Structure 1
Amino acid sequence: RRQHAKGKRPVIDMSTVSKAAHSYLLSAENARIVFLDIDGVLHPTLLASQQRHTLRQRQEFCQAHNLARLLRETRARVVLCSSWRLYVESRARVEALLQDLDLPPILDVTPSNALGSRGGEIIDWLVSATSQQNLSMPQWVVLDDQALPDLAATGASKHHVRPSPAQGLTEQDVQVAIQQLMEPCSNKPEFRYHHNRLLRVFWRLWGL
């Protein structure tokens, strides 16, 4: 699923939550975050490995209209959790898509942690983003066609909307995501516990 980004220049810094994200969480009356995967969400996973370049270009982002509906109806902001965030060119294509749809730009990207766990990276972002100034946990949802066991381990599976990789994001998925984003979030204590557990695993692996 990452082969589309081979040979691309890596994004330099994903280690901290952006100032824009902190500003948004501070100022927004009802902050809402969509953690966005790309392959299997904005287009079927098959396109990520499609050899015919013209076909891939024609159908890439074919489900973007459903993402646009979700973001407009909830006024949520995008935090990119896809492997597309790792490369300048790939991330620029997502930025261009949002601009073409007249949507706000990417708010931030999730960090790349040592364990390589997407669920763990999302947890890291949420904890880091809300730790400073003791901010409230935003309402949030993850759009990802892969299993995210770290979210399940914290009891946060309801935040994960999992499109079929053969179809990508559907209208039904969007409706589920809208309902989730309109509910208050109450998982902050569990996330802090799980975040600390991830850190202990990291320290043990590196002998710290």
Structure 2
Amino acid sequence: MDQQWNVPSIIFLDVDGVVNTNPHIHQTKRMGLPTSSHYIQLPEDTLMRLKRIVMRTGAILIMSSSWRLGYCGSLPSKSYLNLNAQLAGYGMQLSGWTPRSSTGSRGQEIQNWLNAYMDLYGLTMCPPYIIIDDSIKDIVEYHRGHIIKTTLSQGLTDETTVIAINLLQKHRKAVEAV
């Protein structure tokens, strides 16, 4: 085993369509509560599913959602802070966000983050990672085999939770076998 053994697995996390769903947004509106990403309270069921993935895999969370945008330089957005505060209530935390690229391709942004991470830690292999997202058209060409596709109407389900755990564990075993 080389340095990869101590490298955590990574989950690149979208928010809308993963932990926030259209039915939840509509229900929140009907209740007269804020639906802005700065203030919305996310549903417990999807947050508990995310926690299950993190607890089973030991992965860190990197925000790849548009919720990360709006930061100025190294400062996180209000939406990032809102999500991180809610994750803390479930024993989780964000470890960062993907950089914004000139192309706007989230697949490229995730790849840029991975490249910088590997350079920072002197890694020769990409760490185990998955991407959980409902909109994958700009991601799939860069990260085929690492994507868990969700839907805006359902978000993270019991089924996609199991798939995410299994896929991340598969990638972890592949790295450890080298």
TM-score, scaled relative to structure 1? 0.67
* Residues 33 and 131 (structure 1), Cα distance of their counterparts in 2 relative to 1, 3 Å cut: same
Which is bigger in relative contact order (C-alpha 8 A, separation at least 6)? 2
Could you say which residue in structure 2 is the equivalent of 1:175?
162
Could you say which residue in structure 2 is the equivalent of 1:98?
87
Could you say which residue in structure 2 is the equivalent of 1:195?
none
Matches within 5 A, 1:48-127: 51-52=29-30, 53-54=32-33, 56=35, 60-62=42-44, 63-87=46-70, 88-103=77-92, 105-127=93-115
Report which of the two has the higher share of helix: 1
Could you say which residue in structure 1 is the equivalent of 2:152?
165
One-letter code aligned to 1:107: S
Structure 2 gaps of 5+ residues are 71-76
Deviates more, 1:165-174 or 1:59-68: 59-68
Q: CA deviation at 1:71?
A: 0.5
TM-score, scaled relative to structure 2? 0.77
Question: What is the rounded CA distance, in whole Å, between the counterparts of 2:88 and 2:118 in structure 1?
Answer: 27
Alignment deviations for residues 27-76 of structure 1 (CA, whole Å, 9 cap, x no partner):
97242000000001002145557754428478733411110111111110
Among 17, 37, 41, the alignment partner of 1:40 is 17
Percentage identity across paired residues of the two chains: 27
Instruction: Kindly name which structure, 1 or 2, has the bigger radius of gyration based on alpha carbons.
Output: 1
- Could you say what secondary structure the match of 1:148 adopts? coil
* Residues 54 and 115 (structure 1), Cα distance of their counterparts in 2 relative to 1, 3 Å cut: same
Matches within 5 A, 1:123-202: 123-135=111-123, 136-149=125-138, 151-154=139-142, 156-184=143-171
* Residues 93 and 146 (structure 1), Cα distance of their counterparts in 2 relative to 1, 3 Å cut: same
Mapped contact 1:33–1:139 kept (Cα < 8 A): yes
Report the RMSD for the aligned CA atoms in angstroms: 2.7
Q: CA deviation at 1:180?
A: 1.2
Question: What is the rounded CA distance, in whole Å, between the counterparts of 2:4 and 2:170 in structure 1?
Answer: 19
Question: What is the rounded CA distance, in whole Å, between the counterparts of 1:117 and 1:45 in structure 2?
Answer: 24
Mapped contact 1:40–1:166 kept (Cα < 8 A): yes
- Could you say what secondary structure the match of 1:182 adopts? helix
Mapped contact 2:19–2:155 kept (Cα < 8 A): yes
- Could you say what secondary structure the match of 1:78 adopts? strand
Q: CA deviation at 1:148?
A: 3.4
Question: What is the rounded CA distance, in whole Å, between the counterparts of 1:173 and 1:92 in structure 2?
Answer: 26
Question: What is the rounded CA distance, in whole Å, between the counterparts of 1:159 and 1:45 in structure 2?
Answer: 25
Structure 1 gaps of 5+ residues are 1-25, 188-208
- Could you say what secondary structure the match of 2:129 adopts? strand
One-letter code aligned to 2:101: N
